[in-house]
Copies of this chain bind each other. A is one copy, B any other.
Amino acid sequence: MAQQYQAKIHVTLRPSVLDPAGVAVRSGLEKLGYGGVEGVRIGKYIELTLTAEDLETARAQVDSMCDRLLANPTIENYHIDIA
């Protein structure tokens, strides 16, 4: 029987890809007085609910969604947690 699953997806830029937004945030933090901040990287955090036959099918579906729409695999990595 089909069940509902909750997926939590982290989409992050690959380490080799520059993150201009992260650089801007680091600079903004410094101007606000927060020194000693480094390596600011900004990614996406997506939550969704889906209906699938079982956990394995749900994971495969979300994996496919990430490859096709939620992430850009050329420059981004993604990590999926499903429960």
Could you tell me which A residues sit within 8 Å of B by CB distance?
2, 10-12, 25-26, 28-29, 32, 34-52, 61, 64-65, 68-70
How many copies of the polypeptide does the oligomer hold? 2
Q: Please indicate the chain B residues that have their CB under 8 angstroms from the CB of A50 in the complex.
A: 34, 36-38
Cβ contact within 8 Å between B48 and A45: no
Chain A interface mostly helix, strand, loop or mixed? strand
Of A42, A43, A51, most B-chain CB atoms within 10 Å: A42
Cβ contact within 8 Å between A42 and B41: no
Residue from B34, B40, B68 in contact with A32 in the complex, judged by beta carbons closer than 8 Å: B68
CA distance A42 to B45 in the complex (A): 6
Cβ contact within 8 Å between B46 and A42: yes
